[in-house]
Amino acid sequence: MTDISELVRAELSIPVDPRVAAMARALAAEYPGSARAVLFYGSCLRETQLDGLMLDFYLIVSDYGDAYPKRWQAIANRLIPPNVFPFQHDGLIAKYAVLSEADFHRLNGSGTRNVSVWARFAQPSRLAWAVDDTARGRAIAAVSRAAPALLAAAGPVAGEDMLDWWRRAFSLTYSVELRAERTSRAQSVVDADAERYARFSAPAIAAIPADAQGGGWARRRIEGKALSIVRLAKASLTYAGGIDYLAWKINRHAGTKIEIKPWQRRWPLLAALTLVPRLMRSGAIR
């Protein structure tokens, strides 16, 4: 049986669109001396037409203190990881999350109830840039922890088909975060590349740590939604135009027609804190 790390290494090494690779290099250049790796993930992996889409990256840095000129940004990233920022290059737009190598490794593992990182990297991703082979190896090792963490957290159900285990696991993670996507999104993630998930199944199960955390989803939901609101509030301070991006994403996924008012752009933190409860009550996000 192929080891999970070998499957992850092969998947991360698949070449990306040249424009994505150029964007990853440009992003890393914004953090000289601290950038270690840039990973490309999300629905845009399956797209060939990138114009007008919001690309998703994770920037992995050596240390938050080295990454930021402002001390408060490093503190915010350390206390409530990750920080999220917008980025533009060669006509493409993106958002990127910043994590240290240590946090990326930790948050991809089953030792945390926080689903935000391992739920994303249990899905396909690409290593679009790495500063050297050591950074590449550390990124592979971290991502290799994600799929075992996801399946362990969901736990097996007797008689359940393997792909249904994946679908149920992603459905559980979607229920933990504030999401504008339809409830069928978790199933479509697996169905978009069922062969990949079937191939990853046995190696991922074999790599589940003996002390992996399972269950506890009621607590995860409470903590996860609260943390999502805190991150959103923080992003209103670190992410230029963050409130407009929030409205764009919700409108795209939930079919709403939210329009951001001038006062909300002027006071994005207050806007975020007042907008989220209203959207939850209306069902636009869950």
Alpha-carbon dihedral angle through residues 118, 122, 126, 128, given to the nearest 10 degrees: 0
Q: What is the per-residue pLDDT for 262? A: 76
Does pLDDT of 172 surpass 70? Answer: yes
**Banded pLDDT at 204 (limits 50, 70, 90):** very high
Q: What is the per-residue pLDDT for 183? A: 52
Q: Please say whether the beta carbons of 124 and 41 come within 8 A.
A: yes
Q: What is the per-residue pLDDT for 278? A: 61
**CATH superfamily placement of domain 4-218:** Beta Polymerase, domain 2 (3.30.460.10)
Q: What is the per-residue pLDDT for 2? A: 86
Residues 226-267 have pLDDT tens digits of 777 677 667 666 665 666 666 666 666 556 677 777 766 666
- Domain boundaries of the chain, sorted by first residue: 4-218, 220-282
**Banded pLDDT at 151 (limits 50, 70, 90):** very high
Q: What is the per-residue pLDDT for 250? A: 61
Does pLDDT of 155 surpass 80? Answer: yes
Q: What is the DSSP letter of 160?
A: -
Predicted TM-score (pTM) of this structure: 0.85
Residues 10-30 have pLDDT tens digits of 999 999 999 999 999 999 999
Cβ-based neighbours of 225, under 8 Å, separated by 6 or more: 176, 177, 178
Q: Who has greater pLDDT, 223 or 284?
A: 223
Q: What is the per-residue pLDDT for 98? A: 97
Q: What is the per-residue pLDDT for 177? A: 73
Q: What is the per-residue pLDDT for 214? A: 78
Burial of 205 (0-12, 13-18, 19+ CB in 10 A): middle
Does pLDDT of 130 surpass 90? Answer: yes
Strands in 35-41's sheet, in edge-to-edge order, are: 83-89, 92-100, 54-61, 35-41, 125-130
Query: One-letter amino acid identity for 121?
Result: F
SS3 content of the chain, % helix, strand, coil (to 5): 55, 15, 30
Residues 35-48 have pLDDT tens digits of 999 999 998 998 88
Does pLDDT of 143 surpass 80? Answer: yes
Does pLDDT of 68 surpass 70? Answer: yes
Burial of 170 (0-12, 13-18, 19+ CB in 10 A): buried
Residues 92-102 have pLDDT tens digits of 999 999 999 99
Q: What percent of the chain has pLDDT over 70?
A: 80
